[in-house]
Amino acid sequence: MSKFDLETLRHSTSHILAQAVMEIFPGVKLGIGPSTDDGFYYDFDLPQAITPEDLPKIEKAMKDICKKNQKFERQEVSKEEAIRLFEEKGEKYKVEILNEIDSDKVSLYRNGDFVDLCRGPHVDFTGRIKAFKLLSIAGAYWRGIETNPMMQRIYGAAFPTKDELEAYLTNLEEAKKRDHRKLGKELDLFSLHEEAGAGLVYYHPKGAMLRSLIEDFMKKENLKRGYEQVYIPHIAKIDLWNTSGHTNYYRENMYFMKIDEQEYVVKPMNCPGHILIYGRKTRSYRDLPIRYFEFGTVYRYEKSGVLHGLLRVRGFTQDDAHIFCREDQLEGEIIQTLDFIAFVMKTFGFDFKINLSTRPESFAGTADNWDKAIAILEKALQDRGLPFEIDPGAGVFYGPKIDVKLKDSLGRAWQGPTVQVDFNLPQRFNLNYIGEDGKQKTPVMVHRAILGSLERFIGALIEHYGGAFPFWLAPTQVSILPVSDRHNDYAEKVSAQLKEAGIRVEVDSRRETIGAKIRNAQMQKVPYMLIVGDKEEQAGTVAIRSREKGEIGVKSIQDFSFDLRPEMRYNS
């Protein structure tokens, strides 16, 4: 089934959901009901709360509607006639939508006694819909505006066949087990605190270790590729953001403050700061390309309703970099960046897919420069043989971009790396270099993040591995489990030797049974457990248990440490 046909099926299922809710709950007012990537939802304004216990009843009513095999009939009417119809029904939200439509004619869809305002298309008959499941209920402000009424949103999944639906539901259950918010708490990685502010992440020691390992890896790889590390402040006067255009194009996402009667902005992006560093002195064509990178923390306003663990936050850190180059160097820099992305994704175990995001309706700079930038990005992707899809109008205001979506072990896509070509900001900030002909020229700027947001990347990483990180990334690599208190000293001796070898170790010296200690280490997803008792202490050995393989056997501390060397390398 094509993407278009699948969207049609799912949108048709949302109409059947609305029809069923109207049959069961008199007085309901309808919002909207689009298709989604996996199914559909519909928003309802109800005098009573829908509960999870209501979903089977609604689902049964939907199945009854499907069995009746009602025909979906399109009817084109005047806008005025449609307004009268929905006013008579008391459907104020439909009337609101109609009043904003700039057309004399609108389309309605009917099946049975149910009628809805809709562009369509729909399947021919309700009987075509055979595999769906209602999943959850959530609150949603009408049209996403917090001052509007709160509606009840019912989510569902729909597929062409029951087998596809069952496979999706199985995947969904696995995804629940891997939820990074759940695992973040269980593995003691991070927390969020409403009393300190929504969307702000607090890394615990183990989470901080995971993040540090990622940062250390990325720092090493950036330096290897000719990048220079910089640091910039977290705030800057508004003048800087006026020059960059952010106050015009990005204002609703920015935080403002006043200091000594001067307006400042908490930085939403790092690029203006890197531009200031570049612009501090005269550059020659021989100096280019210049590549700056930093782990830059930025702050952007997100509505509270869309905040989601590490995946959608208000404060996050990017592995941000900006390349200042000549136009003749641009394609080469983009190709090198694409190679860097492919290397990093392979290292962390992700497949990926690529979108090329083109010019939005509201943009800075000239259309000619945008077209040139898009063509260069497209050619670089083609030269590397990387398949991609065009995402029309999804570029940022200053330039087009390559968007890379990580594909995890469950086949889900996560926003990750970006590569953006920018002719605009260097012109706005009057950046230049002296060309080979002795004349001043304007450099081109490449905005580049390999991981994207560290928070989002870590969230995706947790779910990809289900918290069972590969050895080189595990915050705790080895847990030493003394059989009783009298073996604690030997456990500490083993720990010291392993730490000397660069292995991250913890000793579980709690007064628990060895079985309880093993279960705890297994739940904490520690790659290796070393059990030490009388025999091991006398022989100077350890009994080894693997997270994946169970009991491995007994080895000397030195042999165990030596055998771990291949796993300690990130490219093992």
How far apart CA 505 and CA 337 sit, in angstroms, is 36
Q: Is 463 helix (H, G, I), strand (E, B) or coil?
A: helix
- 322 known member of a binding site: yes
How far apart CA 303 and CA 313 sit, in angstroms, is 10
- 322, 359, 525, 545: the active-site residue: 322
- 274, 447, 448, 464: the active-site residue: 447
- 401, 448, 487, 517: the active-site residue: 401
Residues forming a β-bridge with 390: 356
Closest CA to 278 of 453, 446, 420, 418: 446
Q: Residue 186: how many CB atoms within 10 A of its CB?
A: 12
What sign does the CA torsion over 174, 175, 181, 183 have?
A: positive
Is 384 annotated in the active site?
no
Is 401 annotated in the active site?
yes
In the sheet with 131-141, reading across from the earlier edge strand, the strands are 29-30, 39-45, 150-159, 131-141
How buried is 192 (Cβ within 10 angstroms: 0-12 exposed, 13-18 middle, 19+ buried)?
middle
DSSP letters for 437-448: TS-EEPPEEEEE
Is 525 annotated in the active site?
no
Q: What is the DSSP letter of 51?
A: -
Closest CA to 334 of 393, 374, 283, 365: 374
How far apart CA 168 and CA 163 sit, in angstroms, is 9
For residue 289, cis peptide bond before it (omega within 30 degrees of 0): yes
Is 19 annotated in the active site?
no
How far apart CA 25 and CA 47 sit, in angstroms, is 9
The one-letter amino acid code at 417 reads P
- 11 known member of a binding site: no
Is 477 annotated in the active site?
no
Residues forming a β-bridge with 355: 389, 403
How far apart CA 270 and CA 249 sit, in angstroms, is 16
The one-letter amino acid code at 534 reads D
Q: What is the DSSP letter of 286?
A: G
- 318, 336, 420, 477: the active-site residue: 318
**How far, in whole angstroms, is CA 20 from its chain's centroid?**
34
Is 415 annotated in the active site?
no
Q: Residue 519: how many CB atoms within 10 A of its CB?
A: 12
Is 300 annotated in the active site?
yes
Binding residues for Zn(2+): 271, 322, 447
Binding residues: 271, 322, 447
Catalytic residues: 271, 300, 318, 320, 322, 401, 447
